[in-house]
Amino acid sequence: MSQMREMPGGWHLHESAYVDDGAEIGAGTKVWHFCHVMGGAVIGERCSVGQNVVVMPGTRLGNNVKVQNNVSVYEGVECDDDVFLGPSMVFTNVVNPRSHVSRKHEYRATRVGRGASIGANATIVCGHDLGPYAFVAAGAVVTRNVPAYALMAGVPARRMGWMCQCGERLADPGADGTTACGGCGDRYLLAGPDELRPAGAPAGE
C-alpha cells in the first residue's frame, strides 16, 4: 500500500517521490507519487504537488498552490499564493531552443500572480507575466502578458472577458464601467481597455 510520511517541518512526502537536498518545503504541503523536487526549489505552505510533477532549481511556489498531475515547473517560474496549475499545462523557459546550442544563460522568467488559474494542457511561453486572478482556459497558448482578472482563450490566447476572484465569469462592464459577480456579488471597475480592478481599489491594484 502506498504511503505518505510526515517529514521534519510538517510536510508530507509519498514514498515514490524524491526531494533533493537544498529544496525548501513549507508545512502542510504534500508531494505525491513519482514527483521530483530539486535542490534550490522553494515551495510554500499547504501546497499540493500532484503525480509526476518536476520542480526545478530556481523556482518558487507560494502558499496554497495546487499543481496538478504531469506539470514541469522550470527554472525561472514563480507562482504567487493560491495559484492553480491544471493537469499537463506547460511552462517554457527558452523561446528558441536547439538541442545542440546551450541557452541556459538566456532563460526568461515567468511570473504567475496571486490567485491565477491555468487550465489543463495550456502553454505559457516564457518571458510573460500573468496578473492576479487571471484565468487561462484549457488548451490556450499564452504569448504575451496577461492582465489581472483576464479570461484568456485560444491559440494564441486572447482576452475573451473578465473573471471574478471567486472564479465566475463577469458580465461585460456597463456604461459606467462597472460590473458585479453573479456568484459572490463583488463589484469591479474597468479602469482602461485592459485594466479591471475591484471597485473602490486604488489605481494599480
User: How many residues comprise the chain?
Assistant: 205
133 close to 116: Cβ distance less than 8 angstroms: yes
Give the separation between CA 73 and CA 147, rounded to whole angstroms: 22
Q: What are phi and psi of 11, to 5 degrees?
A: -105, 170
Rg (CA), the chain: 18
Give the separation between CA 190 and CA 68, rounded to whole angstroms: 32
**What does each of the 205 residues of the chain score in pLDDT, given as a tens digit?**
568 999 999 999 999 999 999 999 999 999 999 999 999 999 999 999 999 999 999 999 999 999 999 999 999 999 999 999 999 999 999 999 999 999 988 899 999 999 999 999 999 999 999 999 999 999 999 999 999 999 999 999 999 999 999 999 999 999 999 999 999 999 999 998 899 999 977 655 5
pLDDT at 200: 75
Residues near 120 by beta carbon (within 8 Å), at least 6 away in sequence: 68, 86, 87, 88, 89, 138, 139
pLDDT at 11: 98
DSSP assignment letter at 59 = -
> Which of 174, 184, 180, 182 lies closest to 199 in space, CA to CA?
180
Give the rounded distance of the alpha carbon of 68 from its chain centre. Answer: 11
166 close to 158: Cβ distance less than 8 angstroms: no
Cross-strand pairs, 77? 110
What domains lie within the chain, and their CATH numbers?
4-169 (2.160.10.10)
> Which of 24, 26, 18 lies closest to 41 in space, CA to CA?
24
pLDDT at 77: 98
* Amino acid letter, 31: V
Q: Which residue has the cell 514563480?
A: 78
86 close to 69: Cβ distance less than 8 angstroms: no
Give the separation between CA 47 and CA 58, rounded to whole angstroms: 18
Give the separation between CA 146 and CA 178, rounded to whole angstroms: 20
